[in-house]
Structure 1
């Protein structure tokens, strides 16, 4: 269907060779005046377009109609691909789709959400958000004889690895971390001195590796900057007996010989909270066999806000991971001829008994 095409450049009152920055500035100039959500009491702050001598062919239209056109125009011209297709193939090619060297460009369709375009350009619902923020939350300033007056910038954060033993993770603990930082030691803020500072960390039971503990603005203190954050990152300290798996499970490895693997055995495990755990194995321990003891792993740590954490500080933890026991097979390094003969006789007799047992089970099945 033939219809007159809309000139998006004319809508924004820009030449076809205008840069992307010029297109954006033109949209901003028009959007501030035409946005229907602008407070009407601020209208006196803007000079009407007619008085600026910047009338366009849209000027006779109502403001809502102009508002719709400028958003659609910027949605096209503000996108490099849409603009390239519009420049070459016109509005028809844009709406009908065209075949490009790298594939087919599907038909463009304006989404119709004018405020979506507006907020994309201004990065806010209001074009004055940065001014409002500066008034409501004024920036931190410095005034020194050496550097004069300026806005403080925040120093980079300092990250440190904090090794936690599995015993500390199991029961929870309090860690006192000592840091050395530069501090201002006189009223004129002209002399700095390195001083020791202690930070207190409350380690909740079950804290997982990678948990970050942030102390806001506890870094070095300089006259012209805001102190950076000090961040401690939890990491598991290697344990001689246990290994953490899946955040809350514990893995324990136990060495056995072939006799134990076939006949069963019993052993004790000293847990992280100093209990003696008796483990009895009556199964045949085949390769890949594991013994899982429920609720003998690490506590399951929950993310809680400050109020909930205080309310449940003395509450008993009831959710735990599992203890997974894996077995390592210890084979003899050397067998004498007599030992080999006895082993061979044993397995021959063993196989014979297996066949007899299978026959008896077959008779009972019949």
Structure 2
């Protein structure tokens, strides 16, 4: 990460060993003052007057910014899994994703829906939440001849896998996804027709597998329901030469014969951005030997807020993973008697020279 990490515990003014109930109560105390849809005169019904003058380190900020910070902090600390990831790996691990013993934890991304977080808490803890929220955010209603009058319920989300080639992950790209959905085609909302709709996906360089791209309420349009979300989930498309490892590293396998393994060799790799990378091996390539070329892997995708993303839109991404080269050995399929004799003779001479070198090194040490 190229930015300082946010201390979510400090945002809610709580120690790191706080219980979930203490975290929730701290969020309630702050949210009752900062929620833009709350009537200030009702604060006394929720918070003791003795606490009215209590200040936090967020106090110098404007209320809209404080409101955004406390909701993001509680969205993480109020979720047991997110909190465990944050406590162990910090904000970097939370935003970039980590490999857990039971599988991969994909990068976390706050959706920015502050009222969604607020309603999740005050729907249970506030005696007035439902009434006030219904006034501030009235439910969506429908009125049709076929279905009568009622409250619209939201359709289930639709999830689709989108495979990305490593070249697309390396450079980033824009994907235009065509979806077919039911749409209302007359003013009376009685006739539906299936039409094609195009959604635009901005794939950032280094996007990891499991990243979710959510298009809110872009599903089928029906008179009595709210359209569901369409979610695209990124997956890696198999590549003929490279394989992704540890999110940002690339693995390349190169085949060599025994002569090359003993004497060294030079070869070229065509990278994902079509450069010719020269690799020189002078070591003896033993089983398990790997060659690591720094900064020749995939770019490290960073989770940026809107302001930072705009400021860094034209900046080049300079953080990359590594290229890991592994080797496969090609053994001869057949040796003639003469070839076997020459091979034995070679290894006898080789062993003799090896012993002489060891003895010379011992004499020099004495």
Do the structures match in fold with TM over 0.5? yes
Per-residue CA deviation, residues 318-361 of structure 1 (Å, 9 max, x unaligned), is 10000000000001111111111111110010000000000111
Q: Which residue of 2 aligns with 1:348?
A: 348
Give the Cα separation in 2 of the matches to 1:177 and 1:302. Answer: 24
Shift of 1:313: 1.5
Per-residue CA deviation, residues 80-128 of structure 1 (Å, 9 max, x unaligned), is xxxxxxxxxxxxxxxxxxxxxxxxxxxxxxxxxxxxxxxxx98644312
Q: Which residue of 1 aligns with 2:193?
A: 193
Q: Which residue of 2 aligns with 1:289?
A: 289
Per-residue CA deviation, residues 6-58 of structure 1 (Å, 9 max, x unaligned), is xxxxxxxxxxxxxxxxxxxxxxxxxxxxxx9648xxxxxxxxxxxxxxxxxxx
Alignment of 1:163-312 (within 5 A): 163-312=163-312
Give the Cα separation in 1 of the matches to 2:295 and 2:150. Answer: 58
Give the Cα separation in 1 of the matches to 2:128 and 2:158. Answer: 34
Shift of 1:136: 1.0
Give the Cα separation in 2 of the matches to 1:307 and 1:331. Answer: 57
SS in 2 for 1:176: strand
**2:358 aligned with 1:358:** yes
Per-residue CA deviation, residues 249-305 of structure 1 (Å, 9 max, x unaligned), is 000000000000000000000000010000000000000000000000000000112
The runs of at least 4 consecutive aligned structure 1 residues that moved more than 2 Å come to 36-39, 121-126
Give the Cα separation in 2 of the matches to 1:174 and 1:122. Answer: 39
SS in 2 for 1:278: strand
Shift of 1:310: 2.0
Give the Cα separation in 2 of the matches to 1:205 and 1:190. Answer: 44
SS in 1 for 2:274: coil
TM-score (normalised: structure 1) = 0.67
The number of aligned residues is 250
SS in 1 for 2:298: coil
Give the Cα separation in 2 of the matches to 1:185 and 1:126. Answer: 42
Shift of 1:228: 0.2
Shift of 1:306: 2.0
Unaligned 5+ segments in structure 2 are 1-42, 47-120
Give the Cα separation in 2 of the matches to 1:38 and 1:168. Answer: 55
Give the Cα separation in 1 of the matches to 2:187 and 2:303. Answer: 42
* 8 Å CA contact retained: 2:249, 2:324: yes
SS in 1 for 2:202: strand
SS in 2 for 1:327: strand
Give the Cα separation in 1 of the matches to 2:178 and 2:264. Answer: 51
Alignment of 1:72-87 (within 5 A): none
TM-score (normalised: structure 2) = 0.67
* 8 Å CA contact retained: 2:123, 2:130: no
Shift of 1:129: 1.1
Give the Cα separation in 1 of the matches to 2:253 and 2:125. Answer: 60
Once the two structures are overlaid, the 10-residue window that deviates more, 299-308 or 210-219, is: 299-308
Q: Which residue of 2 aligns with 1:45?
A: none
Unaligned 5+ segments in structure 1 are 1-35, 40-120
Per-residue CA deviation, residues 169-228 of structure 1 (Å, 9 max, x unaligned), is 000000000000000000000000000000001100000000000000000000000000
Larger radius of gyration: 1
